[in-house]
Structure 1
């Protein structure tokens, strides 16, 4: 599949519609700006996190240089949190932006979604970058727009420990916070679709069973994820970090077109088979912390073949890429898909 294949976007839509595409696409729906691409493209963060032209330029290099067929912006998971009132550390070339304040830690009841949310922070930057990418006649690949999920946003606003404590001791308050966060997610998702995004991905690490726990996910998060999908105007993907096997049945009932999984799942074949039985695609799951980051291209190929053996739909990094991840390992991932029989 060449970098100029005009059918890539159609194949991506087919995958999210529950259709089988052979061979699978390669891409990323998690954060992905690596130092090698910054150097080659001439667009680096932190400027590329807040300038739409630079964001689009760096994002396009994921395809033109790294040969990925599905690309994602923005490059961090703080955009919506910042728009909701959190202060961020903008980071450096090799360090992603991070949340440094929790504005509603003392009184979560004070939190509400601003009526002018889409005008706050960097949301408009992401919207402009999406439009630039979609209007680039030489770039015929699908664009996935990333949004922090409701559990992550709740932890940003309240602090991770206070929020997790609320889910146990005052679940009704936790539900109200999550509901408002989903309102923000819906607004951002539909704005990104209007800008030209082919899909949105909710990245929600705090929803991991290792964090919030399966019971709280089922009772507090799941109903709001269902409502999210009932109110958006396009395809959606869910990415939850960690060992999600125990909540896979619940995830598959939330209405997402695809799920993105990382290497810590116990049984990828079980996840893929379960998802496919519900016409839901699976994306992943080459190790980012080990294989892509520090191992050799041959190691990447070996792990890619193992992923492809499970009938995965989009071969991708399992989670966000470390900035120091070598370009040669991303290229090896694509080469493995090309070589796979």
Structure 2
């Protein structure tokens, strides 16, 4: 079988085509303190400066060995873009959303007419352009964004879960708004050089809201993003937190190419619960990648590989203090695996 570039290999793996071996990637956030120290680009500045963001993303490749570069490192830029209050992150912690801006239909209307050339949204796109100019011919350039359901929660607050059950008109209107934004943002990332799209929608879980609400408030909106990306020949990976085992078959009906599952999901069961989507995961980022030895990581990686996982990767965002050698152990196992 022919050898492929990392860019070709990941694209083929995500679209069900034969490859020479498994790509070594992380579809979730990649930044660590070790990489920051090695490349000189640190959080929180690397969340706000395009050059530093690109430099830290590049370290995932040059320091760890990931065969892709990925930005950003957190899921708050979208909420900040719409005016939500953000708690600043640190060198070891990511920023978080602490204030909300939407409680009515009027509030939704007031957010329309936004300009994607503003704020951290634009910083992320600029970082993608920097990375694409340097690596776009060889490496996959991953763009990532929070998904429309979790963005709706960020801008509406904890009332969101009650809203979808008691105020359908408002809930659907907010989902239409956030999805329209997601599609526009994703297209801008692709215009700047992204060739793979990752949707991080942590609270969009059928286990959390039930299949009926998932089918109404999540599937059609994820499908709109997938359809828009597929028109541009860009594969899409979806990550939802928690035990998504029972919802996997429903999740893939949106047309997503890959589904990233976390450590609470049994890998073999996940593989058996989908028809077309590639299952990505699912090494525990805390109890395994951060806190175990390289030998233990290789042993667990082999178990996940034996279960038939499509792409070996962390089960969620990498913990910032994860040792470099631990991530390199996972990368080594992925690179040595032939399907």
Q: After superposition, where does 1:110-129 map in structure 2 within 5 Å?
A: 110-112=107-109, 113-129=111-127
The equivalent position to 1:290 in structure 2, one of 251, 265, 287, is 287
1:257 counterpart residue number:
257
TM-score, normalization by structure 2: 0.93
**Is residue 241 from structure 1 mapped to residue 238 from structure 2 by the alignment?**
no
Residue of structure 2 equivalent to 1:272 = 271
Distance of 2:106 and 2:287 partners within structure 1: 41
SS of 1:82's partner is helix
User: Displacement, 1:230?
Assistant: 2.2
Aligned to 1:150: 148
* Displacement of 1:193: 0.5
Separation (CA, whole Å) in 1 of partners of 2:269 and 2:207: 19
Q: State the shift of 1:338 in Å.
A: 4.0
Q: Name the structure 1 match of 2:134.
A: 136
Compute the displacement of 1:109 (Å). 4.1
Q: Per the alignment, do residues 339 and 86 of structure 1 end up closer, same or farther by CA in structure 2, a change over 3 Å counting?
A: same
Matched, 1:204 2:201: yes
Distance 2:330 2:183 in 1: 33
Q: 1:25·1:313 contact (CA, 8 Å) conserved in 2? A: no
Gaps of 5+ in 2: none
Per-residue CA deviations over 1:26-80 (Å, capped at 9, x if unaligned) read: 1111112111000011110111111111111110010111001133210100111
Distance 2:262 2:192 in 1: 29
Asked if 1 retains the 8 angstrom alpha-carbon contact of 2:183 and 2:224, the reply is: no
Determine if contact 1:144/1:201 at 8 Å carries over to the other structure: yes
Cα distance, 1:297 vs structure 2:
0.8
List alignment gaps of at least 5 residues for structure 1.
none
Aligned length: 332
Q: Distance in 1 between matches of 2:77 and 2:170?
A: 24
Q: Deviations over 1:296-338 (max 9, x none)?
A: 1111111111111122222111100111111111011012234
Equivalent residues of 1:171, 1:220 under 8 A apart: no
Query: Structure 1 CA distance, aligned partners of 2:335 and 2:129?
Result: 30
| Shift in CA distance, 6/24, structure 1 to aligned 2, threshold 3 Å | closer
- Using the alignment, how far apart are the partners of 1:243 and 1:320 within structure 2? 15
Q: Which moved more, 1:212-221 or 1:142-151?
A: 212-221
User: Aligned equivalents of 1:178 and 1:137: distance in 2?
Assistant: 35
- Which residue matches 2:326? 329
Q: Is 1:226 aligned to 2:213, yes or no?
A: no
In the alignment, which residue of structure 1 is the partner of 2:31? 33
Asked whether the equivalents of residues 83 and 121 of structure 1 are also in contact (C-alpha less than 8 Å), the reply is yes
Q: Do the aligned partners of 2:285 and 2:319 also contact (CA within 8 Å) in 1?
A: yes
- Most deviating of 165-174 and 93-102: 165-174
Structure 2 distance, partners of 1:137, 1:200, is 16
Counterparts of 1:138 and 1:119, CA distance in 2: 22
User: Which one of 154, 160, 164 corresponds to residue 163 of structure 1?
Assistant: 160
RMSD (CA atoms): 1.8
Counterpart of 1:216?
Answer: 213
Name the counterpart of 1:74.
72
Render the CA deviation track for 1:71-121: whole Å, top value 9, x for unaligned: 3210100111111221212211011011121011x4354114432331232
The CA distance in 2 between the partners of 1:103 and 1:156, in whole Å, is 9
CA distance in 2, matches of 1:337, 1:229: 26
**1:274 shift after superposition:** 3.8
Segment of structure 1 superposing worse, 207-216 or 69-78: 207-216
Q: How does 1:15-54 map to 2 (within 5 A)?
A: 15-54=13-52
Higher mean C-alpha deviation, range 200-209 or range 226-235? 226-235
Counterpart CA distance in 1 for 2:303 and 2:67 is 20
Check 1:6–1:61 CA distance in 2 against 1; reply closer, same or farther (3 A cut).
Answer: farther
Offset of 1:281 from its aligned partner? 1.6
